[in-house]
Amino acid sequence: MSKQRELRAERDYVEALYQRLDAERESTAAELTTAMKAETGGNTEALFQRDVAVNTLRTKQNRLHAADGGLCFGRLAMSDGERVYIGRIGLFDEEDDYRPLLTDWRAPASRAFYTATAARSEGVAFRRHFLTRGRDVLDLSDEPLGGDSISGDSEASTALLNAVNAPRAEAMADIVSTIQADQDEIIRLPHHGVVVLDGGPGTGKTAVALHRVAYLLYTQRERMSRSGVLIVGPNASFLRWIGAVLPSLGETDVVFATPGELFPGLRTTRQDDADAKRIKGSLDVLAVLAAAVADRQELPGEPIPIELDDVTVPLDDELVSTARERARSTGLPHNDARPAFRKHVVEVLVERAVADIGEGWLDEPEDRGGPLWADLAEDVLHELKQSQSLAKAVDQLWPHLTPTEFLHDLLSDETRLRAAFHGRPDADWQAVHRRLGDAWTVSDVPLLDEAVDLLGEGPATARAQRAAEHERRRQAKYAAELMEILGDQGDPDYEQLRVTDVVDAERLADRHGSGDGRVLAERAAADRDWTYGHIVVDEAQELSEMDWRLLMRRCPSKSFTIVGDLAQRESPAGSRAWEPVLSRYVAQRWTFRQLTVNYRTPAEIMDVAAGVLAEIGPGLTPPTSIRSSGTRPSTWHVPVPELAETVAKARAEYTSGTTAVIAPADLGIEGSISPYETKGLEFDSVIVVEPHRILIDGAAQLYVALTRATQRLTIVHSEPLPECLAAAGR
Ligand SMILES: Nc1ncnc2c1ncn2[C@@H]1O[C@H](COP(=O)(O)OP(=O)(O)OP(=O)(O)O)[C@@H](O)[C@H]1O
């Protein structure tokens, strides 16, 4: 068949798929309307059923909607003549025993689309890629795989080159139609634990991690959508950049956060200086925090008089010291141990008061415990419960503390800091000393999180939490019963919903729990004790030991995709190797994968960046660019007063696509961003200003800045080019 006839035939097929998609959308919309209008008569069970149906249909509607652009992007022509069309979702012919018309890219049957090669054809004669725009199929290209035809193996396919050459939009696009075999292997890794995905700039680490999330949500939907997935990225611009990828794949049960947002109620982007970052980020700070808590469990020094109606009893060091030991020996967190402290104090004060009041008439050993003694003790106890002076004394000696009060009091008080850092150099506490009025920093976040565990919630909150948990379990049981009933009714619509959009009892209970109408992402982000089904950490080399501790707590099943490049590490508290970070939590049970092909930066730019990489560490190898642009980076050497004007001129030359000016913040170049802010991002054109100055902050910063461009790089400088950029000057 000629290519034109092939194209016509494929267009007809894809058009028919869209007709089916539209039909599904219409029927889902109609079902949704019916479900929403369902009579409930205010009956709880009926209300619950209606909510279940409405939510499930809404989710289905979202997925159908997201699949609209590029619904079908290719097909496998199997050697036995079978055709497998690959797309964003699965579509079936209900009238023909649910024959697949379109196979979801995540389904096992799609795998060969990404992995078959000429050497290992997996029964595929050829692989066909569609070039699409919206609903239209513009063109097609085939990669022959069977027999001894040309290898599609080593040559980058047309579809891939089209994708990497395309101008970048304001948000990252999904790569579902051009996932490469080594990337596919990582996306579908059956490993449930920690997967470390390492690789140089532009190797698709972020893209692969996001597609892995979509894959996990598809294959383990029950577990994942019950607890959600957390994606941690370095800054808000990065999260905005990647934020559209999962929705474009129809997935929304995902929480995005920067490290400064991991403590509920707090949002900070403020960075500490290098010393404070290092001290706050090291696990050694745990001993400091523990000492700081112990320091809040004080001795009075001078006895505190507790005045009662008939007698005044002293609260002295000896009594407080024993009460403190008793409370500490419970092993409970500070706030939770406070009742034990108070109880002992009260018991001894009662003894002291009764002995004082009963002097001369209740002195005999046999009087103790007798009815008169007991009556008197009860009166004293009653008085002590009402005593303002006792309440005040307990607040002073064993205060109830919130994490923010505790950390604020510690960091802003020189005396407390000295005590907590006892045995360490003065420079350590001085580095973290915070001036009154200073805002929280990103490095404070894991300390606040740690403080929650050290301090505990206090008895009232703990009780409320237990009651809430009890109620949640009750709801889960109820939901399980309800699902059984619905299943037994054999309602075909409901059956289909369950197949396409599996929900389970706990998830229903979670969603419909007593009056909590928030979506999963909101509830998870607001709850410090929320545990996620999976966590993706991007730019993971920047995280401190304390950050890891926090994140490990958020995912007890230790299901992580960790994405990073050690050569791009900027933070002094970040990781120098993966093993020491991970072995503490998962021993050797983690999987390592590396990506080595750069899909972003053309070879000409990577040649220049390679010099900077050598500065970071001799022996480090840059990733291999998949393409050359034919244009070498340009350098403009100008006097200082002309710097801003030259940048503006260079910028004006870039009329198409996205452009970033990356400059040290203190240069004040209009519209520029710092290298740190460009982490994980990419732009068609990049102008790097004063590389010499960026290099002073760290070679990794310059390496990041240079590797953001997808097409063009210009370097504008007034100071001489650093030695490591010699390649750019040639
Ligand atoms: N298989 C692919 N098909 C098409 N484009 C791809 C593919 N893999 C990666 N890309 C593109 O390459 C670019 C770089 O990918 P990504 O941002 O995931 O790299 P990275 O390894 O996370 O980089 P960095 O470490 O610099 O943040 C993106 O535009 C991405 O869409």
Ligand 1 atom at minimum distance from 708 CA: 26
| Ramachandran angles phi, psi of 364, nearest 5° | -70, 145
> Is residue 178 lining ligand 1, measured as CB closer than 6 Å?
yes
The mean pLDDT of 613-617, rounded to a whole number, is 90
Among the residue ranges 45-49, 293-297, 435-439, 515-519, the one predicted with the least confidence is: 515-519
The alpha carbon of 682 and the centre of ligand 1 are apart by a number of angstroms equal to: 9
What whole-number distance in Å separates Cα of residue 664 and Cα of residue 690? 8
The per-residue pLDDT for 463 is 55
pLDDT tens, 342-384?
Answer: 999 999 999 999 888 887 777 777 777 788 888 999 999 999 9
Q: Which residues pair with 576 in a beta bridge?
A: none
What whole-number distance in Å separates Cα of residue 600 and Cα of residue 160? 12
- The single-letter DSSP state of residue 673 is B
Nearest to 174 by CA among 70, 100, 56, 321: 70
The alpha carbon of 622 and the centre of ligand 1 are apart by a number of angstroms equal to: 15
Q: Is the pLDDT of residue 148 over 90?
A: no
Q: Which residues contact 358 (CB under 8 A, 6 or more apart)?
A: 367, 372, 373, 376
- Say what the pTM is: 0.87
> Is residue 229 lining ligand 1, measured as CB closer than 6 Å?
no
Ligand 1 atom at minimum distance from 201 CA: 26
Question: What SS3 class is residue 200?
Answer: coil
Residue 640's CB: how many other CB atoms inside 10 A? 10
In 296-333, which residue ranges form alpha helices assigned H by DSSP?
A: 317-329
Residue whose CB lies within 8 A of the most ligand 1 atoms, among 174, 206, 624, for a mutation test: 206
Radius of gyration of the chain (CA): 32
What whole-number distance in Å separates Cα of residue 341 and Cα of residue 335? 10
Q: Is the pLDDT of residue 310 over 90?
A: no
The per-residue pLDDT for 617 is 86
What whole-number distance in Å separates Cα of residue 441 and Cα of residue 335? 25
What whole-number distance in Å separates Cα of residue 690 and Cα of residue 702? 10
* Structural domains in the chain plus CATH codes: 3-175 (no CATH), 179-263+528-594 (3.40.50.300), 274-455 (no CATH), 603-729 (3.40.50.300)
490 token code pair: 């054999």
Q: Is the pLDDT of residue 152 over 90?
A: no
pLDDT tens, 176-230?
Answer: 999 999 999 999 998 789 999 999 999 999 999 999 999 999 998 877 877 889 9
Q: Is the pLDDT of residue 405 over 50?
A: yes
The mean pLDDT of 313-327, rounded to a whole number, is 96
Residue 410's pLDDT band, with cuts at 50, 70 and 90, is very high
pLDDT tens, 233-244?
Answer: 999 999 999 999
Distinct helix (H) and strand (E) counts, the chain: 30, 20
> What angle separates helix 699-706 from helix 603-616, to the nearest 10 degrees?
170
The alpha carbon of 218 and the centre of ligand 1 are apart by a number of angstroms equal to: 22
Q: Is the pLDDT of residue 486 over 60?
A: no
Q: Where are the beta strands (DSSP E) in 294-367?
A: 304-307, 312-315
Instruction: Annotate 162-198 with DSSP letters as a single string.
Output: HHHHSPP-SSPPP-TTT--HHHHHHHT----SEEEEE
The per-residue pLDDT for 473 is 59
Ligand 1 atom at minimum distance from 210 CA: 18
In the chain, pLDDT over 90 holds for what percent of residues? 66
- CB-based contact 604:633 (threshold 8 Å): yes
> Is residue 205 lining ligand 1, measured as CB closer than 6 Å?
yes
The mean pLDDT of 78-104, rounded to a whole number, is 94
The alpha carbon of 650 and the centre of ligand 1 are apart by a number of angstroms equal to: 26
The CA distances from residue 530 to 459, 522, 555, in Å, are 20, 11, 9
Q: In what order do the strands lie in the sheet with 229-232?
A: 254-257, 229-232, 534-537, 560-564, 194-199, 590-595
Q: Chain-wide mean pLDDT for the chain?
A: 88
The CA distances from residue 653 to 39, 454, 539, 650, in Å, are 63, 57, 32, 5
What whole-number distance in Å separates Cα of residue 561 and Cα of residue 159? 27
Instruction: Annotate 605-655 with DSSP letters as a single string.
Output: HHHHHHHHHHHH-TT--PPEES---S---EEEE--GGGHHHHHHHHHHH--
Ligand 1 atom at minimum distance from 177 CA: 3
What whole-number distance in Å separates Cα of residue 75 and Cα of residue 140? 10
The alpha carbon of 242 is separated from its chain's Cα centroid by a whole number of angstroms, namely: 12
> Is residue 21 lining ligand 1, measured as CB closer than 6 Å?
no
- Please give, one letter per residue, the 3-state secondary structure of 628-641: CCCCCCEEEECCHH
Q: Is the pLDDT of residue 151 over 50?
A: no
Q: Is the pLDDT of residue 45 over 50?
A: yes
The protein residue with its alpha carbon nearest to ligand 1, atom 9, reads 204
| Ramachandran angles phi, psi of 490, nearest 5° | 60, 30
The alpha carbon of 121 and the centre of ligand 1 are apart by a number of angstroms equal to: 26
The alpha carbon of 654 is separated from its chain's Cα centroid by a whole number of angstroms, namely: 35
- CB-based contact 282:421 (threshold 8 Å): no
> Is residue 602 lining ligand 1, measured as CB closer than 6 Å?
no
> What kind and span of H or E run contains 728?
helix 726-729
The per-residue pLDDT for 468 is 65
Point out the annotated binding site for ATP. Answer: 199-206
The per-residue pLDDT for 415 is 96
> Is residue 203 lining ligand 1, measured as CB closer than 6 Å?
yes
Residue whose CB lies within 8 A of the most ligand 1 atoms, among 161, 682, 684, 707, for a mutation test: 682
Q: Which residues pair with 130 in a beta bridge?
A: 140
> Is residue 201 lining ligand 1, measured as CB closer than 6 Å?
yes
Nearest to 175 by CA among 249, 254, 65: 249
Q: Side chain identity at 231, as an amino acid letter?
A: I
- CB-based contact 401:334 (threshold 8 Å): yes
The mean pLDDT of 675-696, rounded to a whole number, is 94
Nearest to 677 by CA among 663, 687, 666: 663
The mean pLDDT of 411-415, rounded to a whole number, is 96
The protein residue with its alpha carbon nearest to ligand 1, atom 1, reads 179
Q: Is the pLDDT of residue 717 over 60?
A: yes
* Residue reference for tokens 């200082």: 640
Q: Is the pLDDT of residue 490 over 50?
A: no
The mean pLDDT of 535-543, rounded to a whole number, is 96
Residue whose CB lies within 8 A of the most ligand 1 atoms, among 205, 563, 594, 599, for a mutation test: 599
Residue 479's pLDDT band, with cuts at 50, 70 and 90, is low
- CB-based contact 301:323 (threshold 8 Å): no
Q: Is the pLDDT of residue 656 over 70?
A: yes
388 token code pair: 């303002």
The alpha carbon of 504 and the centre of ligand 1 are apart by a number of angstroms equal to: 35
How many residues appear in the chain? 730
Rounded to 5°, the CA angle 80-85-86 comes to 125
The per-residue pLDDT for 477 is 56
What whole-number distance in Å separates Cα of residue 585 and Cα of residue 219? 26
Residue 511's pLDDT band, with cuts at 50, 70 and 90, is very low
Q: Is the pLDDT of residue 14 over 90?
A: yes
pLDDT tens, 127-136?
Answer: 999 999 999 9
Q: Side chain identity at 74, as an amino acid letter?
A: G
Residue whose CB lies within 8 A of the most ligand 1 atoms, among 600, 606, 620, 662, for a mutation test: 600
Ligand 1 atom at minimum distance from 595 CA: 21
What whole-number distance in Å separates Cα of residue 339 and Cα of residue 461? 14
